[in-house]
Chains A and B, each alone.
Chain A
Amino acid sequence: DSGVTQTPKHLITATGQRVTLRCSPRSGDLSVYWYQQSLDQGLQFLIQYYNGEERAKGNILERFSAQQFPDLHSELNLSSLELGDSALYFCASSPGLAQWAQYFGPGTRLLVL
Chain B
Amino acid sequence: AQTVTQSQPEMSVQEAETVTLSCTYDTSESDYYLFWYKQPPSRQMILVIRQEAYKQQNATENRFSVNFQKAAKSFSLKISDSQLGDAAMYFCAYRTPQGGSEKLVFGKGTKLTVNP
Contacts and interface: CB of A to CB of B under 8 A. Distances in A.
A103 B105 CA distance: 15
Interface residues of A, number: 25
A18 interface: no
Interface in B85-116: 91, 97, 100-109
Nearest to B99: A56
Nearest to A44: B106
A98 B42 CA distance: 29
Interface in B2-31: none
Contact of B97 (A45, A88, A98, A104): A98
Contacts of A35: 104
Contacts of A107: 43-45
Contacts of A98: 97, 102
B47 A103 contact: yes
B35 to A, nearest CB: 6
Interface in A15-40: 31, 33, 35
Contacts of B91: 43
Nearest to B91: A43
Nearest to A31: B102
